[in-house]
Chains A and B, each alone.
Chain A
Amino acid sequence: MPHKLLFKTIVILVSFCGISYQFLINRVLIQFSQNEILNQSVTLGFYLLAMGIGAAAADRVFKNKNAQTVYLLEIGISILGMVLVPLIYSLHIFINIFIANKTLGLFYGPQAVFTMQIFTVIVGLITGFELPLLMSIGQNSVRFKASNASILAFSYFGSLAGALYSAGIFLPSLDFLSQGVLIGLMTLLAATLVAVMAIDQIKKIYCLLVLIPIALSSFVIQVTPKLEQLFLKNYYMNMKVFEISPNSFETVLKFFSTVDDVERYMTPYQVVDITPRDFMTRSGKNSNFIFFLNNQVQFGGDEYLRYHETMVHGAINLTGKIPKNVLVLGGGDGLILTELRRVLGVESIIQVELDPHIIELATYHPIFKAINQSVYQDGKAKVYYQDAFSYIRKTQEKFDAVFIDFPFPTSYDLSKLYSVEFYRSLRKVLNDDAYFVFDAPVFDKTEYRPKPKDIFASTLRASGFQNISAFGLAESFYIVSLGKKSLQFDYDRLPPWMSNQTIINLAVLNESLDEAEVSEAYVNSIFKPQKFVFK
Chain B
Amino acid sequence: MLIPYLNLRNLFLNRFFVLVIVIFIFFQPQVGKAMLIASTHERPGPGYYKAVLTRLYTWYNKEYFDFDKRFSSRESKLVHSVIEDIDKTSQYLDPKTGLPRFRLAMDLVGDKVSYGNLWISFPSVPIGLKKHVDEVLKSWKIADIGQIYGIEWSFENDEVSLFSLVKGGLQQDVYKNKKQIESYAWQRLEHVQLEGNEIFALGIQEVWEVKSEKKSRKYIGTDMFPSKEFNEVIKSPLVKISKEFGLRPQFILFQDRDHFRIYYQ
Contact = CB atoms under 8 A, between A and B. Distances in A.
A509 B245 contact: no
B128 to A, nearest CB: 20
A29 interface: no
Nearest to A476: B37
B52 A503 contact: yes
Nearest to B228: A243
A443 interface: yes
Nearest to A306: B246
Interface in B9-55: 31-33, 35-37, 39-48, 50-52, 55
Contacts of A506: 48, 51
Given A443-B39, A509-B42, A511-B41, A474 B246 contact: yes
B42 A500 contact: no
A445 interface: yes
B39 to A, nearest CB: 7
A501 B247 CA distance: 9
B42 A512 contact: yes
Contact of B37 (A474, A488, A490): A474
B96 to A, nearest CB: 12
Interface in B196-237: 228
Which range contains the number of A residues in contact with the other chain?
20 to 34
A504 B59 contact: no
A511 B40 CA distance: 9
A443 B45 contact: no
B244 interface: yes
Contacts of B247: 504
B243 interface: yes
A291 B40 CA distance: 27
B108 interface: no
Given A443-B40, A491-B50, A500-B55, A473 B32 contact: yes
A509 B43 CA distance: 8
A473 B33 CA distance: 7
Given A243-B228, A443-B39, A512-B42, A507 B48 contact: yes
A505 B48 CA distance: 10
A491 B47 contact: yes
A378 interface: no
Given A491-B47, A491-B50, A500-B55, A509 B36 contact: no
Contact of B32 (A488, A490, A492, A504): A504
B36 A500 contact: no
Contacts of A489: 45, 47-48
Interface in B68-114: none
B56 interface: yes
Contacts of A443: 37, 39-40
B35, B37, B228 pick with most chain A CB within 10 angstroms = B37
A500 B48 contact: no
Given A243-B228, A302-B243, A500-B244, A507 B44 contact: yes
A495 to B, nearest CB: 12
B39 A507 contact: no
Interface string A147-183: 0000000000000000000000000000000000000
Given A501-B245, A504-B246, A507-B32, A492 B228 contact: no
A504 B37 contact: no
Given A489-B48, A490-B47, A491-B50, A504 B39 contact: no
A475 to B, nearest CB: 10
Interface string A498-534: 0011011111110110010000000000000000000
A504 B52 contact: yes
Nearest to A493: B47
A37 interface: no
Nearest to B58: A500
Contacts of A504: 31-32, 35-36, 52, 55, 245-247
Contacts of B41: 511-512, 515
A19 B126 CA distance: 75
A501 B244 contact: yes
A506 B44 CA distance: 8
B244 A473 contact: no
A494 interface: yes
A223 to B, nearest CB: 33
A509 B40 CA distance: 9
Contacts of B33: 473
Contacts of B39: 443, 445
Contacts of B48: 489, 491, 506-507
B40 A473 contact: yes
Contacts of A243: 228
B240 to A, nearest CB: 11
A508 B44 contact: yes
A503 B246 contact: no
B13 to A, nearest CB: 14
A10 to B, nearest CB: 59
B175 to A, nearest CB: 33
Contacts of A302: 243
Interface string A463-503: 00000000001100000000000001111101000001101
Contacts of B31: 504
A473 B47 contact: no
Nearest to B245: A500
Contacts of B44: 473, 507-508
Nearest to A301: B243
A488 B42 contact: no
B37 to A, nearest CB: 5
Nearest to B44: A507
Nearest to B43: A511
A195 B32 CA distance: 71
**Minimum-distance CB pairs A-B, first 10:** A507-B44, A491-B47, A491-B51, A473-B32, A473-B36, A501-B246, A488-B45, A474-B36, A500-B245, A507-B32
Given A494-B51, A507-B32, 16 more contacts: A243-B228, A445-B39, A474-B37, A490-B47, A491-B48, A491-B51, A500-B55, A500-B244, A503-B55, A504-B55, A508-B42, A508-B45, A511-B41, A511-B43, A512-B41, A512-B42
15 contacts: A243-B228, A302-B243, A473-B33, A473-B40, A473-B44, A474-B37, A491-B50, A501-B244, A503-B51, A503-B55, A508-B44, A509-B40, A509-B42, A511-B41, A512-B40
